[in-house]
Structures are given as structure tokens and as C-alpha cells.
Amino acid sequence: MSTKRPGFPLPLQSVVKPATPAARRPASPSGSGGQGAPAPRAPTPSPLRSAAATPSPRPTPAVARTVDLPGTVARKVQKAAPAPQGLGLDSGAVRARMVQRLREQGVAHPAVLHALGLVERHRFVDAALAGQAYDDNALPIGLGQTISKPSVVARMLALLLGDRAAPLGRVLEIGTGCGYQSALLSHLAQEVYSIERLRGLHDKARENLRPLRLRNVHLMFGDGMLGYPSGAPYAGIVSAAGGAHLPSTWYEQLAMGGRLIAPTVTPAGHQALVLIEKTPQGPLQQVLEAVHFVPLKSGVE
């Protein structure tokens, strides 16, 4: 691990401004990997709603219906033998084993491990891949994108939190994908703003997250390279795509003392995970381990 201030990959004066939505960045090789902030400057957008700019007023969420079993059926259910523990993807024991593997691999932040144990990853992948949901693999989610490996997600979230035990304030996620990391962030931050440039994935994330009724998660459809200034400043920003340059808008929208976690391309042409902290003296950067994420692009599709 290397630490330097400032220089690669950011001094900000050399960081390009994001292209207009119609423009495209040259794609790098595709792949997968997968301080409390001040009060908001603009009205809080409604949860799980599409918005190109400012979300519309929050709708009343649908209430899940319950059905009472007839007395005879209820008695049969009570007498039925309990399901074996640890079997089936809906069992907490399956996620517990995944969490234990991650702990053995060095993930130590208790809040991150707790969130990973709560969120059902198999609900965010296609049914045909559900049996692989708790392996440490990246899986396709459509449109050439992937859900990152649990170990990569855990690593990035632990870096985002640092040594904080309490939840972060507001967090910006660049690249909603299928919504899995958004669900994890809902347990780690007071407010989560997540932006996705691909309409198909934005809609999929909304469908995946709707049953969870996460009131602190706000989904936007738009160009992630522009960030989301209405929710700034952010205690943390995490990106699920990487390019040769990090948009200056991300750093500008970061709160003082906040952290930015993103993959970027090194001068040698390899992708590496970068942690940038916003300090009064300027950006403090750490270039960390090699990773392989999909390329960062501008515009929407």
C-alpha cells in the first residue's frame, strides 16, 4: 500500500470534468469486482423513485398484506416438523457461513459483517444463479454488468467506514447495479443516494429493493459522473466503476473528512482501488490492491 498527498490519481487540477451526457469516455478493459455530514441543502428525494434531477414527493409505500390461516391449517403448521437449520438460501445460516469466510479472509469491521449477514444476496441475482449467491464470486446481472464479489464489497465498505463504529451521515453510491450494495449501505449510513446510468439496471434495482422498504435509500437514474449535488456534502462516496480519471465533481461533493472509494487506472495501465480522504490540506490518497471493475462511462442509456 502506498500513501501520497496529492498526486496520482488526483491532483484535482488535472482531473477532467465529466463529459456531457451525450459524450462517452473511451472504455477501459471491462471487468467486474465488484463523519457525519451537515444537514441536506435540498429536499430529500423520495425512496426508490426514478429521477433525472430532483425526485418527486415521496409516495406512501405499499403495505405488505398478511393472510390468516384457517384454524385447522394453522394447527397442522404448528405440528409440522421444523425445517433443518442451515438449508435453503433463505436461511440465515447460509449467510452466516459467508460472513465467517469473509472474517477469516481479514474483513474485521463489525458493522460491515453485520450488514452482510442481514442482506439476502440471492434475492439480487437471477434465479438460475441463486445457488452461487453466497460464493465469493462476481455474477452477471445483465447489460454487461456484474454484482461484485462479497469480499470486494466488504473491503470497500470497510474502507468507507474506516474506524467509525457509528453509521455515516449521507453516502453517495455511483452505479446502483442490482441494488445489493445499496441495501448493505442502508445499514451503514443514515441516508443513501445511489445513481445508475443504465435504465434497465435502475429499474431492476427498484424492483429488488421495493420489498425491503428501505426508507433511507434513494435511487436516481442519471449520469453518475456528475454525482448528485442535491444531496451533498457526503460523508462517503463509493463507485462501482473505474476509469483513468476520477471526476472532480465527486471530490467537490465530498464533505471535509469524508472518504471516496473507487477503482481507477494506474499509469501502468492496471486497475487499482484508491482511497481518497478530503482534508484541509487537500486530498490524501492511498493506492491499494489491484481490482477489476467495469469501465466508468458518462451519459445514460
| Residue 47, pLDDT score | 45
What pLDDT does 67 receive?
A: 32
Residue 24 within a domain = yes
Q: How many domains does the chain have?
A: 1
Task: Tell me which of 28, 32, 148, 230 is the catalytic residue.
Answer: 148
CA 58 to chain centroid: 22
In a domain, 40, yes or no: yes
- The pLDDT assigned to 88 comes to 62
Whether the Cβ atoms of residue 161 and residue 169 lie closer than 8 Å to each other = no
Dist. CA 12–CA 30, nearest whole Å: 25
- Say if 63 falls within a structural domain: no
Look at the pTM and tell me if it is higher than 0.85.
Answer: no
At residue 10, the pLDDT reads 53
pLDDT at residue 269 in the model? 84
Judge whether 130 lies within some domain. Answer: no
- Residue 243 near residue 174 (C-beta atoms within 8 A): no
The tens place of each residue's pLDDT in the chain, 301 residues long, gives: 445 454 445 544 444 444 444 444 343 333 444 444 444 444 444 445 444 444 444 444 443 333 333 333 333 333 333 333 334 666 789 999 999 999 999 999 999 999 999 999 999 999 999 999 999 999 999 999 999 999 999 999 999 999 998 899 999 999 999 999 999 999 999 999 999 999 999 999 999 999 999 999 999 999 999 999 999 999 999 999 988 889 999 999 999 999 999 999 988 888 999 999 999 999 999 999 999 999 999 999 9
Residue 129's pLDDT is: 95
User: 301 is written with which cell numbers?
Assistant: 442509456
Does any domain span residue 116? no
Is residue 96, in this structure, part of any structural domain at all?
A: no
Which range of residues forms the domain containing residue 272? 2-52+168-295
Alpha helices for 133-255 (secondary structure H): 150-161, 180-185, 199-209, 248-252
By DSSP bridging, strand 254-265 and strand 271-279 are antiparallel
pLDDT at 26: 40
Is 148 a catalytic site residue? Answer: yes
How much is the pLDDT for 27?
38
Task: Report yes or no on 107 lying in a domain.
Answer: no
Per DSSP (E only), the strands in 35-176 are 139-142, 145-147, 168-174
Structural domain includes residue 89: no
Q: What is the CATH number of the domain that holds 211?
A: 3.40.50.150
pLDDT at 267: 84
Please, what is the end-to-end C-alpha distance for the chain in angstroms? 36
The reply to whether omega before 9 is within 30° of 0 (cis) is: yes
Strand partners, 220: 195
